[in-house]
């Protein structure tokens, strides 16, 4: 009898999970989710590294909102979008405030509400104030959408009740299509705010996507180029990025890059994409001063005709591909595996799956891992040792190859 009651009660609880909820078909559901999935917002600025946690949280809240709305938890979905908007503003506020403010925020002491915080942002961040003045209609419309969301979040009107979504419920003026459009517009505009605020905090993200600047930046940074097509593709607002680019804030940031030498396509591939085109070594050789010391060693190895498919650095954590296709089956990484390669008595032609790993010593007691399809000959090993000895005997930026 107890088992029967338990089973019946379990059925009741399961039915409660779906009570007054109905799944919603969202237009652009896959498209928006995939955009958020591939969105990589990371700053490499040491002074505001904490912002990366805020960026991850805001992005996750936006993803959650989509799933919540689709599952019928409409009020929670709107709340999640609003939370994302507030997290974004809090991030910029703390990035422009003394460290003590961040400690107060972390210790859950007094922190201004979002409405007051945005007023403070215009006072403490000239960049935020300028960008907002260039596209005021975007910020004001996003704020208006959030205000409309408040009516749903705070349950103002019977049409905001779950009961109103029940089939054959009394008509309280609820129109599903209108609410779907409100949700999607609020979501899209808030994603846009995330991108705009990130650019203000990390203008390098825009510079890296700027075709007039990006080939002058000979550094491989943590920050990735921002997707400048978002506003036009999702909102039909082609001018947003253009307005940001003409700002004093952005022009001041990129001004120094105009004097930099522009990288060729092949050099850009090495520095920014970690890819060596073997056919373009002569072209890369003309810009050796633009690549790192470790990359120079790779260049000399390839220039000597040593056929390497992949170079690994930082204990195998980072790697460079070459245009020589690797024959290794699949991909796997194990830090202990690379430690074993580095400590092996015989450094050259170590077996790795169906390819080989060889070790070349470089500066600061570090090593360069060479992955190759065929065993190195005795003459090739001799060449590698020669490069190794000459490099280690020279000061940085002083080579004799």
pLDDT of residue 401 exceeding 80: no
Ranking 106-110, 219-223, 333-337, 342-346 by mean pLDDT, the lowest is 333-337
> What pLDDT does 85 receive?
97
Rounded to an integer, the average pLDDT of 321-331 is 89
pLDDT of residue 106 exceeding 80: yes
> What pLDDT does 398 receive?
47
State the Cα–Cα distance between residues 77 and 85, nearest whole angstrom: 13
Ranking 62-66, 166-170, 201-205 by mean pLDDT, the lowest is 166-170
pLDDT tens digits for range 360-384:
998 777 899 999 999 999 999 999 9
Inter-residue contact 151 to 179 (CB < 8 Å): no
pLDDT of residue 167 exceeding 70: no
> What pLDDT does 276 receive?
98
Q: Is 312 helix (H, G, I), strand (E, B) or coil?
A: strand
State the Cα–Cα distance between residues 384 and 301, nearest whole angstrom: 7
> What pLDDT does 1 receive?
53
6 or 135, higher pLDDT = 135
> What pLDDT does 170 receive?
67
The sign of the torsion formed by the CA atoms of 50, 51, 56, 61 equals positive
276-284 contacts at long range (C-beta below 8 A, 24 or more positions apart): 276/302, 276/311, 276/320, 276/321, 276/322, 276/323, 277/322, 277/323, 278/302, 278/322, 278/323, 278/324, 279/323
DSSP H helices in 44-113: 51-70, 74-95, 99-106
End-to-end CA distance of the chain: 88
HSE of 314 in the Cβ direction (CA atoms, 13 Å)? 6
State the Cα–Cα distance between residues 386 and 303, nearest whole angstrom: 14
Rounded to an integer, the average pLDDT of 19-25 is 79
Inter-residue contact 316 to 342 (CB < 8 Å): no
State the Cα–Cα distance between residues 192 and 321, nearest whole angstrom: 34
> What pLDDT does 314 receive?
87
Q: pTM (2 decimals)?
A: 0.88
Length of the chain: 401
> What pLDDT does 12 receive?
81
Q: What is the mean pLDDT of the chain?
A: 91
Compute CA 357 distance to the chain's CA centroid, rounded to the nearest angstrom. 31
């Amino acid at each position: 009898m107890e088992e029967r009651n338990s089973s019946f009660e379990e059925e009741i609880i399961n039915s409660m999970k779906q009570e007054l909820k109905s799944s919603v078909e969202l237009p652009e559901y896959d498209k928006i989710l995939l955009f958020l999935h591939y969105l990589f917002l990371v700053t490499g600025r040491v002074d505001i590294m904490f912002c990366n946690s805020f960026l991850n949280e805001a992005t996750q809240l936006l993803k959650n909102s989509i799933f919540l709305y689709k599952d019928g938890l409409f009020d929670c979905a709107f709340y999640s979008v609003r939370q994302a908007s507030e997290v974004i503003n809090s991030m910029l506020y703390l990035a422009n405030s003394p460290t003590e403010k961040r400690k107060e925020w972390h210790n859950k002491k007094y922190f201004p509400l979002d409405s007051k915080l945005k007023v403070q942002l215009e006072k403490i961040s000239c960049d935020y104030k300028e960008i907002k003045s260039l596209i005021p209609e975007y910020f004001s419309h996003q704020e208006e959408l959030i205000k409309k969301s408040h009516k749903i979040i705070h349950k103002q009107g019977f049409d905001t009740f779950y009961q109103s979504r029940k089939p054959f419920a009394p008509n309280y003026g609820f129109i599903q299509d209108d609410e779907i459009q409100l949700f999607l517009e609020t979501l899209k505009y808030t994603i846009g705010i995330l991108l705009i605020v990130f650019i203000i905090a990390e203008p390098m993200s825009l510079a890296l996507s700027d075709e007039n600047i990006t080939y002058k930046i000979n550094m491989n940074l943590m920050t990735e180029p921002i997707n400048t097509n978002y506003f036009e593709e999702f909102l039909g607002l082609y001018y947003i990025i253009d307005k940001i680019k003409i700002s004093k804030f952005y022009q001041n940031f990129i001004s120094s890059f105009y004097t930099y030498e522009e990288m060729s396509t092949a050099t850009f591939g090495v520095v920014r994409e970690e890819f060596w085109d073997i056919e373009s070594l002569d072209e890369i050789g003309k810009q050796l001063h633009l690549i790192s010391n470790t990359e120079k060693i790779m260049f000399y190895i390839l220039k000597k005709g040593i056929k390497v498919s992949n170079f690994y650095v930082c204990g195998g954590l980072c790697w460079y591909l070459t245009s020589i296709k690797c024959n290794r089956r699949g991909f796997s990484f194990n830090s202990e595996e690379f430690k074993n390669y580095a400590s092996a008595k015989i450094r050259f032609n170590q077996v790795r799956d169906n390819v080989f790993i060889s070790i070349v010593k470089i500066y600061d007691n570090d090593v360069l891992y060479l992955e190759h399809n065929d065993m190195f000959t005795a003459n090739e090993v001799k060449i590698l040792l020669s490069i190794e000895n000459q490099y280690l005997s020279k000061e940085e930026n002083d080579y004799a190859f």
